[in-house]
């Protein structure tokens, strides 16, 4: 049996399996019923590992062990497997979320906060910088910085970036605005963007910017996150940003923002 590497890769990603598991599962699907030895030969998996791997697949609901000797395995219909995996993933996710929620307010959280506070106090301010790989990580860090904002948040972004930020950061912006933080956003406003501006009244001041093409965020004239790539040319997974905590550089970025802002409508 020849299974393309692309298919095996998709099975690993979607069903959260390791390489041996997807190889043996694909082999069993092609046979319907088979022994561990036969599947080992077909899938090119060491026989010494095949029984353990098949046992793992059985526990996860992918296969059923047939009674009798020699021991054989029966493939579960893929549609049923999808339902089982989805249910198991949902239950696992709920358990993990519940476990994390229990950490809040616990002695463990106090210990972690103490460790972090002591560690940060030893860090040279010039070392407070980092590379943010992937749009998901970028937005998580932006959310973290904005949550702690005391006076100002300035955002210069693209047309699509404006829509993304309002989807991912609007709730946080609403919270900091209620604390008196001034939020300003400069972005090219297309049809969707203009419609969205009305919903931001009282949350942020938004101006149409088609003069300067740039992507950056400054917070309290101390922190800057600037994106290195054009979001039109890069996949979200490969988007790249740099975070620096330096009032000197951030003040310069704010000056540039203010200069552009003054000429916008």
Q: How confident is the model at residue 264 (pLDDT cuts 50, 70, 90)?
A: confident
Domains and CATH numbers, the chain: 5-87 (1.10.10.10), 128-262 (3.30.870.10)
Q: How far is CA 95 from CA 34, 105, 152, in A?
A: 35, 18, 38
**Looking at the DSSP assignment, which residues form a beta bridge with residue 75?**
63
For residue 258, pLDDT beyond 70: yes
Residue pair 232/157 in contact by the 8 Å Cβ criterion: no
Mean pLDDT, the chain, rounded, equals 89
Contacts for 29 with CB less than 8 Å, ≥ 6 apart = 75, 78
Q: What is the pTM of this model?
A: 0.60
> Given the structure tokens 């298919």, which residue do they identify?
7
For residue 71, pLDDT beyond 90: no
For residue 127, pLDDT beyond 60: no
Percent of the chain with pLDDT over 90: 58
For residue 83, pLDDT beyond 60: yes
**Looking at the DSSP assignment, which residues form a beta bridge with residue 133?**
240
**Nearest in space to 1 (alpha carbons), one of 38, 34, 27, 22:** 27
**Nearest in space to 262 (alpha carbons), one of 193, 221, 195, 209:** 209
């Amino acid at each position: 049996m020849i299974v393309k590497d692309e298919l095996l890769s998709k099975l690993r990603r979607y069903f959260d399996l390791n390489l041996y598991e997807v190889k043996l599962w694909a082999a069993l699907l092609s046979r319907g019923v088979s022994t561990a030895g036969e599947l080992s030969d077909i899938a090119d998996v060491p026989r010494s590992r095949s029984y353990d791997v098949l046992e793992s697949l059985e526990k996860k609901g992918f296969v059923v062990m047939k009674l009798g000797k020699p021991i054989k395995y029966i493939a579960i219909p893929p549609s049923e497997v999808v339902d089982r995996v989805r249910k198991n993933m949902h239950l696992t996710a709920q358990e993990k979320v519940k476990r994390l929620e229990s950490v809040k307010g616990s002695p463990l959280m106090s210990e972690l906060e103490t460790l972090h506070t002591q560690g940060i106090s030893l860090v040279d301010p010039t070392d407070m910088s980092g590379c943010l790989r992937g749009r998901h990580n970028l937005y998580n860090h932006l959310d973290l910085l904005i949550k702690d904002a005391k006076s100002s948040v300035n955002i210069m972004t693209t047309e699509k970036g404006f829509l993304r930020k309002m989807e991912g950061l609007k709730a946080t912006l609403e919270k900091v605005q209620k604390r008196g933080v001034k939020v300003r956003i400069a972005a090219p406003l297309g049809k969707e963007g203009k419609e969205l501006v009305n919903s931001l009244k009282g949350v942020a001041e938004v101006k149409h910017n088609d003069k300067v093409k740039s992507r950056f965020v400054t917070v309290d004239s101390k922190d800057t996150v600037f994106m290195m790539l054009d979001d039109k040319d890069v996949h979200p997974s490969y988007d790249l940003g740099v975070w620096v905590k330096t009032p000197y550089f951030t003040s310069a970025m704010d000056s540039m923002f203010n200069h552009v802002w003054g000429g916008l409508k």
